[in-house]
Chain A
Amino acid sequence: GQNIDQPTEMTATEGAIVQINCTYQTSGFNGLFWYQQHAGEAPTFLSYNVLDGLEEKGRFSSFLSRSKGYSYLLLKELQMKDSASYLCAVIWNQGGKLIFGQGTELSVKP
């Protein structure tokens, strides 16, 4: 199947760094997205990786290893407003179907 695995919950402290991992089935992989979703709101786009390596965008970075079927989202200088669900989503075989992982609920504490 197109299994996408990410931790269900994580807790971190304001000002710290947190890494949210995502693993997926590699067969037919064509790109990986990270979205942030606050409770009761729509998902908002954070990053897109299709090639191996690190993509940096301000406090957020995303890494991809295609051969390992692995990605992570790195959040630096955590703020309280970063408390949200972080969704790893994969596109397979150019079909345009975006399949989401279960999401990681991040709680940032003072």
Chain B
Amino acid sequence: DTEVTQTPKHLVMGMTNKKSLKCEQHMGHRAMYWYKQKAKKPPELMFVYSYEKLSINESVPSRFSPECPNSSLLNLHLHALQPEDSALYLCASSRGQGINNEQFFGPGTRLTVL
């Protein structure tokens, strides 16, 4: 299994809703990532988990809350989002965190906040 899966593919939510994005990989990778990508822009790093511990938080607002329940799963909990948070949210994984570790990306969740 050489892929990263993400659910749901699309999500529409109101500003008062609570929802979660899910990401899964079974490649034995120990680093997992969340990126945000707006249209016509490159992916922007949000969080990095290494060995199930939060390693990097790129000053992301607290309305985004990551969780790594085990080495295969990564969640992103969403609460009280703003319309400007609408974007493609990409999950990625790699063998380890750092150099010489290519990141494999999932297909993304396209989020719309109304």
Contact = CB atoms under 8 A, between A and B. Distances in A.
Interface of A: 30-31, 33, 35, 41-45, 48, 50, 87, 89, 91, 94-103
Interface string B11-22: 000000000000
Given A42-B90, A45-B104, A94 B42 contact: no
Q: Give the 7 A-B CB pairs with smallest separation, nearest first.
A: A96-B97, A100-B42, A42-B105, A30-B99, A96-B98, A31-B99, A45-B102
Contacts of A95: 56, 97-98
Nearest to A46: B102
A50 B100 contact: yes
Given A42-B90, A42-B108, A43-B105, A97 B100 contact: no
A42 B70 CA distance: 23
B50 to A, nearest CB: 7
Contacts of A41: 107-108
Given A42-B107, A102-B41, A97 B102 contact: no
Interface string B80-104: 0000000000100010011111111
The majority secondary structure among interface residues of chain A is strand
B106 A42 contact: yes
A69 to B, nearest CB: 17
A26 to B, nearest CB: 15
Contacts of B44: 100
A6 B55 CA distance: 29
Interface residues of B, number: 26
Nearest to A89: B42
20 contacts: A30-B99, A33-B102, A41-B108, A42-B4, A44-B105, A45-B102, A45-B103, A48-B100, A48-B102, A91-B98, A91-B99, A95-B98, A96-B55, A96-B101, A97-B56, A98-B103, A99-B45, A100-B42, A100-B44, A102-B41
Nearest to B3: A42
A106 B45 CA distance: 24
Given A42-B4, A89-B42, A96-B50, 16 more contacts: A30-B99, A33-B103, A41-B107, A44-B105, A45-B104, A48-B102, A50-B99, A50-B100, A87-B43, A95-B56, A96-B97, A97-B45, A98-B33, A99-B45, A101-B42, A103-B42
